[in-house]
Amino acid sequence: MTPADFIAAFPAFKDLPVPTIQAKIDASVPYFDPVRWGDQLNEGVGYWVAHQLVLAGADGYGMDGKSKIAVEANDVTSRDTEHIKISRSPEMIAAQAVDPYMRTVFGQQYRSLSRQIGMGGAAV
């Protein structure tokens, strides 16, 4: 995957510097076996990179509630707009404590794919 491929698939990150995106793509290499991931490699790498960028808070893309893109982990159960009261699912918070990939929607997508495909080397 190239930064251009990543931006095409995840246009919300288009304002990030290319070297920032490339650094996360480079960091993804040990986590993916191209043979095992096959045609889904770019999709998996994309979700993994997006998750890592959000967690790193790169250029305002982060978990601070002021992010340029929506990155909630689907753990909000209710909101009160008058006083901005947000309730979060205790089950999702517990899942996030166990599995850091549950902290963003991108990580959740990566985790879903990795469970289907497998994370280790291909068995021959």
| Interatomic CA distance for residues 69 and 60, integer angstroms | 9
Q: Extract the residue ranges of the chain whose pLDDT is less than 70.
A: 58-98, 119-124
What pLDDT does residue 44 have?
95
- 12-24 tens-digit pLDDT: 888 889 999 999 9
Q: Which of 75, 71, 115 is nearest to 94 (CA)?
A: 75
What pLDDT does residue 120 have?
55
Residue ranges of the domains in the chain? 3-117
- 100-121 tens-digit pLDDT: 787 788 988 898 898 888 765 5
